[in-house]
Amino acid sequence: MDKERTNVIIVGMIILLTVMALGFGVLAMWIRELKMEIASMELDYQAGDEALHARVNDVNEDLLEVQSSIPEMYMDISEIRSIIKNTNSALTRTNKQIKKEQKQEEPATEAPKSSTKEETMHEVFTAEETEVIAQASEPVSDSSPEGMTYLGYYTLTAYEATGNPCANGNMPSTGYTVACNTIPLGSTIYIEGYGTYVVEDTGGMGGGTIDIYMGDVESCYAFGVQGANVYLVN
């Protein structure tokens, strides 16, 4: 078996060498013809033909260009082989990745959606959760705490960090920043049961909703959708 394989390799090398020899033979014939043309032109040049002398120079330049291109041809072949090898490696890695992804049948848990500064990156909750708040009877404050004005009963949601500043240009802070579309920016509000916050941002929530900034996704999920009386701190 090894002998047959060796014979096959030898035959292949002989064929390859033959092809290369033929190629170099053709190139050698072309160079020889050019040299003969140069020799013929040099004879005419000696007779005083200036135009022919220019032609000789052009042919000499062509000859030098052909001779200099031979090493570049070998370099191009090596580069093509390298590209083919790298492409095969990339295809192998891609096939492995596709097979790996096909084996993963369990869908990944989708993280809360968020947006840019203009579209606000606020937490999106289900319609069922929002409907529960909407259907609940809204508490009415009999009297506002001293120094505060009652604004109403608001739905409370939560949103996470986006890396972008708030609508007022400040970076959001946990326990301080809230977003609301109906309360003016910069207003200090008191959320009953949660404490005092400052409206620093706006977002895509409804008019009766306040979005409370929290530091991570887990806290947003834990908070969910709630509701509370809200007061403007005078």
Same domain flag for 133 and 229: yes
Q: How many folded domains does the chain comprise?
A: 2
Match 């003969």 to its residue by tokens: 36
Same domain flag for 226 and 160: yes
Same domain flag for 79 and 170: no
Helix (H) / strand (E) containing 231:
strand 226-233
Is 112 a domain residue? no
The end-to-end CA distance of the chain, in Å, is: 97
CA distance 210 to 226: 10
For the chain, the residue count is 234
Q: Which residues contact 122 (CB under 8 A, 6 or more apart)?
A: 114, 115, 157, 159, 179, 203, 204, 205, 211
Domain that holds residue 138: 127-233
Same domain flag for 13 and 95: yes
Q: Do 181 and 122 meet the contact criterion of CB atoms below 8 Å apart?
A: no
Is 108 a domain residue? no
Burial class (CB in 10 A: 0-12, 13-18, 19+), 64: exposed
Same domain flag for 134 and 87: no
Is 186 a domain residue? yes
Which segments within 144-215 are labelled E, that is strand?
148-159, 177-179, 188-191, 195-201, 209-213
> Torsions phi, psi of 158, nearest 5?
-140, 150
- Evaluated on CA atoms 4, 9, 13, 18, the torsion sign reads positive
Q: Please list the alpha-helical segments (H only) found in 47-167.
A: 50-103, 127-135
Same domain flag for 74 and 145: no
Full pLDDT tens readout for the chain, 234 residues:
666 777 778 877 888 878 887 877 788 888 888 888 888 887 776 776 677 777 778 888 888 887 777 776 766 777 777 787 777 767 777 777 787 777 766 554 444 444 333 343 444 444 444 444 444 434 555 567 888 999 999 999 999 988 889 999 999 999 999 999 999 999 999 999 999 999 999 987 888 999 999 989 999 999 999 999 999 998
Is 115 a domain residue? no
Is 121 a domain residue? no
Is 40 a domain residue? yes
Same domain flag for 88 and 181: no
Instruction: Choose the final residue of a domain: 69, 103, 137.
Output: 103
Is 111 a domain residue? no
Same domain flag for 96 and 132: no
Same domain flag for 72 and 131: no
The CATH number for 216's domain is 2.40.40.10
